[in-house]
Homo-oligomer: A and B are copies of this chain.
Amino acid sequence: MSAELRPVSAASVTSWDHEADVVIAGYGVAGATAAVEAARAGADVLVLERAGAWGGAAALAGGFIYLGGGTPLQTACGFSDSIDNMAAFLNTAMGPGADTERIADYCAGSVAHFEWLVDCGVPFKPEFFGEPGWEPLGDQGLMYSGGEDAYPFNTIAEPAPRGHVPKMQNKKQGQASAGFMLMKPLVQTATGLGVQSVYDVRVQALIVESDGRVVGITARQYGTDIAIKARSGVVLATGSFAYNESMMARFTPRIAGRPISAVEHHDGQGIRMAQALGADLAHTDATEVAFLVDPQQLVRGILVNARGQRYVAEDTYPGRAGQHTLYYQEDKAFLIIDEQGQDGALASQTPKLILRKPKWVCETVAELEAEMGLPFGSLQDTVARYNEGAERGEDPLLHKKARWLRPLGSPIGAIDLRHATGGFSLGGLRTSLSAEVLHVSGEPIPGLYAAGRCTAGLAAWGYASGISLGDGSFYGRRAGRSAARG
């Protein structure tokens, strides 16, 4: 079975089961956008999807698309932004080691990309959602999704919300996710352009000419081996490796075994097929981190590590709080919250189901510290300093916004957030800005293109919600156009 990854010589293929100009592996957001652009460029397009239907992880996602630089939606909601301002944020937030060239490219094309999505029929409601949360509570179209308005980013770039969310129908009935509302019009657009698709197909290996050019894919469908010819180019859009245990153990061991926001088809197959041809990798240690706590609670408490120390502003992007917990605090955190804070969270608009209860509740901080087994004095010092600043409306340590500063009182409790993270891999194939897959030599592999989470995109280490649907759709389009050109 593993040998199926090895490149297959075109000369050994005796008959082709399917044939198209552009063959795309994976019908998530990268595959769908690639299909639309390849078809518009005049190519005959075939999409191979492993599942029984289009959608991928995108259709199940919260639906944020990270866009900015002054999109019509930002403007309609009263926010100003610029390409440089957006790049300044991303260069810091996506690092350390952010790919500034890719970020500049993405930011420069962001407004046009928004318009392209709208043109494909993706709906956005011009309304801003300003409360803490993982996603808007209603069908609002815009939200802060990367901590742009929190420290330290609010000192690096002018805060602007860039999480663009497709408008959901029947949100209250839970009948659709915003990701579905992104995918549905994209697939309808592709279908309208004549894009063909085949489902329940597991891609196995790339087919190459003797000169190294990729000219097709082998796959299995219902137990049968098939060969698909790509006259112009192959696009890999097969998603992350979050469900490949070996890859996770070797590249991102801290989060191995805890995939979140991924689909089990994300087994790294596309990455490995290309590696077998000498394709290079990048940022394989980067991960999105989901932090399993409600942001409505997070902002009302103080987050401390196993030494009782605060380490990240509680009003930052919750995924960033999760990253700092997983990577900097060895996945050990506690949220210290008093009765008033917990009541405030309970009274928030957040669905009550996802609020957590404190594991420990005490009358005093000293008692709480002892019950939790924290080093003597550590939590007492932390709370005393926090309260002292909060009285003045300041947080000298972490610069949490004044809106959320209030001295913690009694009773006081702690929510156990040890090992409360999960996520998916962000690294993968190294590609050019034209979505060509790069060989370890640095040169493109002829005929092979890739986009989405099987590639390293905007994120080198940091992350913001909407980056994956953002770079997946942006470079998916590039991949489609490049593959159509051949």
Contact = CB atoms under 8 A, between A and B. Distances in A.
Contact of A442 (B2, B251, B385, B461): B2
Nearest to A254: B96
Interface string A283-308: 11100000000000000000000010
Contacts of A385: 377-378, 381
Interface string A77-115: 000000000000000000111000000000000000000
A223 interface: no
Interface stretch (A138-146, A167-175, A273-281, A465-473): A273-281
Contacts of A388: 377
Nearest to A376: B396
Contacts of A329: 328
Contacts of A256: 97
B441 A6 contact: yes
A284 B250 CA distance: 8
A11 to B, nearest CB: 12
Contacts of A246: 442
Contact of A97 (B3, B4, B253, B460): B253
A311 interface: yes
How many copies, total? Answer: 2
Interface string A237-253: 00000000010011101
Contacts of A461: 253
A266 to B, nearest CB: 16
A2 B97 contact: no
Contact of A249 (B5, B97, B441): B97
Interface in A221-266: 246, 249-251, 253-254, 256
B441 A2 contact: yes
Interface in A61-79: none
A430 interface: yes
B284 A275 contact: no
Contact of A253 (B3, B275, B460): B460
Contacts of A371: none
Contacts of A377: 385, 388, 396
A192 to B, nearest CB: 38
Interface residues of A, number: 54
A309 interface: yes
A53 interface: no
Nearest to A460: B253
Given A97-B256, A377-B388, A441-B2, A281 B281 contact: yes
A10 to B, nearest CB: 15
A275 B307 contact: no
Nearest to A310: B307
A250 B282 contact: yes
Most B-side CB within 10 Å, residue of A95, A329, A376: A376
Nearest to A7: B278
A397 interface: yes
A250 B281 contact: yes
Nearest to A286: B285
Given A250-B430, A311-B307, A375-B397, A272 B440 contact: yes
Nearest to A256: B97
A162 interface: no
Contacts of A4: 441
A16 interface: no
Given A96-B330, A309-B309, 16 more contacts: A6-B441, A95-B253, A97-B249, A250-B280, A250-B283, A250-B430, A272-B441, A275-B278, A276-B439, A281-B281, A284-B285, A327-B328, A328-B328, A328-B329, A378-B385, A381-B385
Interface of A: 2-6, 95-97, 212, 246, 249-251, 253-254, 256, 272, 275-278, 280-285, 307, 309-311, 327-330, 375-378, 381, 385, 388, 396-398, 430, 439-443, 456, 460-461
Question: Nearest 8 A-B pairs (CB), nearest first?
Answer: A97-B253, A285-B285, A2-B441, A250-B282, A375-B396, A276-B278, A381-B381, A328-B328
24 contacts: A2-B441, A2-B443, A4-B441, A5-B441, A6-B212, A6-B439, A97-B254, A246-B442, A250-B456, A251-B285, A253-B461, A272-B441, A275-B275, A277-B278, A281-B281, A284-B284, A307-B310, A307-B311, A309-B309, A327-B327, A327-B328, A378-B396, A378-B397, A381-B381
